[in-house]
Amino acid sequence: MKPTVVLVGRPNVGKSTLFNRLTRSRDALVADLPGLTRDRHYGQGRLGEKPFIVVDTGGFEPVAKEGLLSEMARQAREAIAEADVIVFLVDGRAGLAPQDKRIATMLRKEAKAPVYLAVNKAEGMREAMVTAEFHELALGDPIAISAEHGEGVRQLIEDALAKFPEPEEDEEIPDHPRVAIVGRPNVGKSTLVNRLLGEERVIAFDQPGTTRDSIEIELEKDGKLYTLIDTAGIRKRGKVWEAVEKFSVIKTLQAIERANVVILVVDADQDIGEQDAHIGGYILEAGRALVVAVNKVDAIDSDKRKDIATDLERKLHFLDFAEFHKISARHGTGIKKMLEGVDGAFAAAMAKLSTPKLTRALMAAVQAQQPPMAGRIRPKLRYAHQGGSNPPIVVIHGSATDHIKATYKRYLEGIFIKTFKLKGTPLRVELRSGA
């Protein structure tokens, strides 16, 4: 499992700046997608050798007792409790603030993972000077960094991840999908799980050998096998299956990582919120196949359904590669179609793309629209082959490919998706110059 790095700190110390630096993808493709919120809280760490998950807890007040702040605090504390590494960020220019002390007290009491105290905005300052007053927080030696300028950040993350093993390559292609059902609290995930498991024969429980006790459940439905990845401690209670734990961001992210196909459940009876979009953004970033289940359609009038479609279209536009299925987990409506969507998404994610067909599609795409000139340089694209699955990766060889812009890459991605009729999976294009 990828280790999870959780960022904490009061507002304005530079958490989102650090988050962006840690998660920045080489081609900025994900960051550019229309509709994908800029203010993200979950991402894949890309700095250094080891992959990791980054969670930004937002600026929070640990002693907030009620309202939105307390809900934020609850979620932040949960992330802190489940973190593998905590980076506590303070502001070296503003100096030590009372709120820093409250967060430090809470961390000393509640955090089980190692805490790295990072003094941000330290560019152009002497380390000993800028860190001096933060020793008082009693969280070890403060480390001076500049999130904005990138100073000290790589070292920080390499130290923080030093004891975690190198990731292993997982090459085997599974014969049935591993499915994670995710979504924010109360959208109907456990009702859906219950609906899927309730009437079917559950084949086996699979206890994994990892630190976090997660469970995988083999399920046979209409003669097909699925492995459900548990995000919320699914247990049998009386006659029904229930999620016994509360929503957890980190369990959600880990489940997405381990899945081939994700079912993102949203509530048709509620506005699509930031949290839906954040989870959706993470699924996209992780390259997972996706089905969006718009649940509780039984609860809304037919005249309101159009508004919902518009709201979804607008707020989850960056997930337009996925099928959206209207379902009622409570009544069982739409479940069969949704599972067909899962099957289709899995097949698309694992599709074999032949080199000749890819290359022909590439040639036709280039003929229809040449890559734009970069000054006097015209990038050339010569041939394509498949470089991976789940998500499918198409590697294109040519020359001066560094000059190809994200919009043209997206154009090519669209062409391959169409050529191979891939529904329900993102596809990635990687460009290589030379040979």
Backbone Cα Rg of the chain: 23
Q: Which is nearer to ligand GDP, 234 or 427 (CB)?
A: 234
CB 435 to ligand GDP: min, Å: 40
CB 348 to ligand GDP: min, Å: 26
CB 235 to ligand GDP: min, Å: 13
Q: Is there a binding annotation on residue 230?
A: yes
Q: How far apart are CA 167 and CA 160, in angstroms?
A: 16
Q: Is there a binding annotation on residue 164?
A: no
Amino acid in the structure at residue 205: F
Tokens found for residue 239: 């006659």
Q: Is there a binding annotation on residue 60?
A: yes
Q: Which is nearer to ligand GDP, 241 or 318 (CB)?
A: 241
Q: Is there a binding annotation on residue 9?
A: yes
How far is Cα of residue 63 from the mean position of the Cα atoms in its chain?
29
Q: Which is nearer to ligand GDP, 245 or 257 (CB)?
A: 245
Q: Which is nearer to ligand GDP, 267 or 323 (CB)?
A: 267
CB 393 to ligand GDP: min, Å: 32
Q: Is there a binding annotation on residue 10?
A: yes
CB 101 to ligand GDP: min, Å: 17
Handedness of CA 247, 277, 210, 165 (dihedral sign): negative
| Binding site residues, ligand GDP, CB under 6 A | 9, 11-17, 59, 120-121, 123, 146-149, 183, 185-191, 243, 295-296, 298-299, 328-330
Q: Is there a binding annotation on residue 90?
A: no
CB 324 to ligand GDP: min, Å: 15
Q: Which is nearer to ligand GDP, 189 or 397 (CB)?
A: 189
Q: Is there a binding annotation on residue 59?
A: yes
Q: Is there a binding annotation on residue 246?
A: no
Q: Which is nearer to ligand GDP, 295 or 425 (CB)?
A: 295
Q: Which is nearer to ligand GDP, 147 or 427 (CB)?
A: 147
CB 238 within 8 A of CB 230: no
CB 343 within 8 A of CB 333: no
Q: How far apart are CA 201 and CA 383, in angstroms?
A: 48
Candidates 164, 146, 165, 143; CA nearest to 87 is 143
- CA atoms within 13 A of residue 292's CA, in its CB half-sphere: 25
Q: Is there a binding annotation on residue 26?
A: no
CB 366 to ligand GDP: min, Å: 40
CB 240 to ligand GDP: min, Å: 11
Q: Is there a binding annotation on residue 234?
A: yes
Q: Which is nearer to ligand GDP, 190 or 260 (CB)?
A: 190
Binding-site entries for GTP = 9-16, 56-60, 120-123, 183-190, 230-234, 295-298
Binding-site entries = 9-16, 56-60, 120-123, 183-190, 230-234, 295-298
